[in-house]
Amino acid sequence: MTRPTIPLGLVFSRSGPYAMMGREMEKSALLALDEVNQSEAFDFTFTPHLRDPRGLVAAYHTACDDLIREHGVDHIVGCYTSASRKQVIPIVERTERLLWHPARYEGFESSDNVIYVGAAPNHTVVPLVRHMLENIASDVFCAGSNYVWTWETNRVLREIVTSAGGRILAERLLELGETAVDHIVREIIERKPPAVFNTLVGESSYVFMRALHAASKRAGLAIPVLSCSLCEPELKLIGSAAAAGCITSSAYFESIDADENRAFVARWTSRHGTGSHVSVDGQSTYVCVMLLARAIRRAGSADVAAVRRAAASHRYDSPQGPVWVDPDNNHCFLTPRLARSVPGCRFRIFWEADAPVRPDPYLSNLDLASIGMKLDQRGDALAKRPTHLRVVK
Amino acid sequence: MTRSSPFSVRGRHALLIIKDERDLAIVRRQLGRLGMSVSEADPEQLAAPTAAIDVIVLDADSIPIKSDPASALKCDAPVIALIGTETPSRLKWLLDLQPASFLVKPLRSAGLYTALVVAFDCAQRRSEEAAHIERLEMRIRSRRVVLAAVLQLMRSHALSEADAFTLLRQTAMRHRTTIEQLSADMITLGGMPNRSSRTA
């Protein structure tokens, strides 16, 4: 018996400036697609339509236009950067299609025609900054790539840190792809900040981590580095020693200790080899395809409106744990986690939320006062509250 | 001063700072329909505008946040912002440019005329308010001079403060000048100016 097939658009940049992530995400999408196609649990198959926009923003629009008009595609899994997603949104909105977006992003968006499977800012930056304030320092040095993710992440960081009485010691930005990091590393070694917040991406980040590691070692310093984006394949690219010790916030780490994840990682390595690591964005791409397949099964059709209704609040026990779409904003309930990178290109998870956390793309529920209050209760030297706010008896 | 209607946009000149070709095509076509002329600038190489510009249409996403807004954006022409990213960090950058109106991307031909009218009206009100504030500030600055002139009249003519001020006001009216100007002249001359020197 042949099952009906549903065309599925997969739009990932296998070449260009973020080709590494694009390839990881496409590999994960195809893994999920093969599993769906081989599973009797689904009464349909997916036919993949692969497109490589080569990291060119305008090419995302062209690729999706072609998929929708020429190949009858209703559902597209893809995009990595916010600039690419913004190119695709007008066309999926105009033609009433769905974009399943795997990557974490900076928030402040909620399209009816996008299912946001990646983490919202309340899943990533907020827990990381809270951890920093409670356990490391209230003053921080920021190094980042000059684009929307850094701008917005640093703004949230600044808002939380300053409301808790801390300071942003510096904000140094590099153009995307820039690898001249020495002046920033020199400044960090000279000023010895209690923490460094790294929102550099791609090659800039890898070169920075290596240079900071080497310089810290020479100077006999151990400055904690924090990140909301580092993932396992990147640890390998940076180098095991230089990548170790970075405190990272993410909804997925390869080391999550759960049956679903162990089985997923085993399937991944049997397909791509033991030297290959799953990344947060790769796993999230897998979750996109699985959420879509389950929603189509529940809806009994690939019709966009029916699939959107079927996906809403439907729980899927994914490798990263239970995930479901919040119909209020089309973002996902995810479990935030914090981990420290360790030698061997792995992360050791040291904190995770008790349950999946409601997505808050506009950070409208961010309670700055409660973060400051927690620090007050600790009453230690980390919490530098302004003196004029102290109770005087 | 003639007040041009914000509704008449024909003949006005727009500077387009837009990278995306589709957005650019929509704006060009719609401004053409409205009888406006356009010039274009590369968001990555902004220079001070050469021609007289009535309005700037700026794609907010095309310029990195940390870059200093170029001099082209600091001229008096009102700015219409095209908004894609609604993150507070981007909006804060935009607020520093004091946009007169905005449009949300993706653009359609509808909406641009409203944005232009709002921008022109806003620019008009802003320049009127600026002139009004300038006049008020002038008055505040000359308060000491007026006070000195009143004191001089009180002393030289043995008048009460109210009478001295009345005399000052009436003399200014007769001389067809402002109280502030007359006061300044009095301080310079050490007394009431010769009537013939002020009347036309």
| B104-156 pLDDT tens trace | 988 988 899 999 999 999 999 999 999 999 999 988 988 999 999 999 999 99
The Cα of A96 is separated from the nearest Cα of chain B by a number of Å equal to 15
* CB-defined contacts A:B, below 8 A: 43
Contact A363, A153 (CB under 8 A): no
Interface touch A154/B87, C-beta < 8 Å: no
The answer to whether the CB of B66 falls within 8 A of the CB of A173 is yes
Give residues with Cβ within 8 angstroms of B72, minimum separation 6.
Answer: B15, B17, B41, B46, B47, B48, B49, B56
**Radius of gyration of chain A measured on its C-alpha atoms:** 21
Which backbone phi and psi does A390 adopt, to 5 degrees?
A: -70, 150
Residue A384 has what pLDDT?
A: 47
Tokens of A200: 């550099």
* CB crowding A212-251: b at 16 or more within 10 Å, else e: bbebbeeeeeebbbbbbbbbbbbbeebeeebbbbbbbbbb
What is the rounded average pLDDT of the residues B6-16?
92
- Domain A5-120+258-334 adopts which CATH fold? Rossmann fold (3.40.50)
Residues in chain B: 200
Look at residue A376 in the predicted model and tell me its pLDDT: 63
Task: Indicate whether B199 pLDDT > 80.
Answer: no
What is the topology classification, in CATH, of domain B13-128?
A: Rossmann fold (3.40.50)
Q: How far apart are CA A360 and CA B53, in angstroms?
A: 42
CB B71 within 8 A of CB B45: no
Q: Three-class SS of residue B103?
A: strand
Asked if B120 and B55 count as a contact pair (C-beta separation under 8 A), the reply is: yes
Given a cut of 90, whether residue B103 has pLDDT beyond it is yes
Contacts of A89 in chain B (CB under 8 A): 106
What pLDDT, on the 0 to 100 scale, is given for residue A380?
A: 52
Q: CA A113, CA A199: separation in Å to the nearest integer?
A: 28
Task: Say yes or no for a CB contact (<8 Å) between B66 and A146.
Answer: yes
Of all residues in chain A, the one with the smallest CA distance to B63 is A147
Cross-chain residue pair B105–A86, CB shorter than 8 Å: yes
Alpha carbon distance, N-terminus to C-terminus of chain B: 23
Instruction: Give the residue from A139, A105, A103 showing the smallest Cα distance to A13.
Output: A103
Strand partners, A346: A342
Look up residue A343 and give its amino acid. P
Q: Can you tell me the distance from the alpha carbon of A376 to that of A378, in angstroms, rounded to the nearest whole number?
A: 5
User: Pick from A145, A215, A224, A220: which is nearest to A187 by CA?
Assistant: A215
Spell out, as residue ranges, where chain A has pLDDT lower than 50: 381, 383-393
Q: What residue in B sits closest to A58 (Cα-Cα)? A: B20
pTM of the model: 0.85
Provide the residue ranges of all domains of chain A, joining segments of one domain with +.
5-120+258-334, 125-250+338-377
Of residues B98 and A288, more confidently modeled: A288
Q: For an interface test with A, which of B26, B67, B85, B86 has the most A Cβ atoms less than 10 Å from its Cβ?
A: B85
Q: What is the number of other CB atoms lying within 10 angstroms of the CB of residue A41? A: 10
**Which of A150, A155, A171, A199 best tests the B interface by mutation, with the highest count of B CBs <10 A?**
A155
Give CATH for domain A125-250+338-377.
3.40.50.2300
Residue A337 and residue A343: Cα distance in Å, rounded? 19
pLDDT at B190: 83
Fold of B142-198: Arc Repressor Mutant, subunit A (1.10.10)
pLDDT digits 0-9 by tens, A131-156: 999 999 999 999 999 989 999 999 99
Query: Going by DSSP bridges, is the β-strand pair B37-40/B55-59 parallel, antiparallel, or unpaired?
Result: unpaired
Residue A391's pLDDT is: 44
Mean pLDDT of B14-32: 92
Q: Spell out the domain ranges in chain B.
A: 13-128, 142-198
Question: Residue A106 and residue B65: Cβ atoms within 8 Å?
Answer: no
Of A82, A90, A154, the CB nearest to B85: A82
Mean of all residue pLDDT scores within chain A = 93
Helix (H, G, I), strand (E, B) or coil at A218: helix
Residue B179 and residue B169 in contact, taking contact as beta carbons nearer than 8 Å: yes
What DSSP element (H or E) covers B34?
none
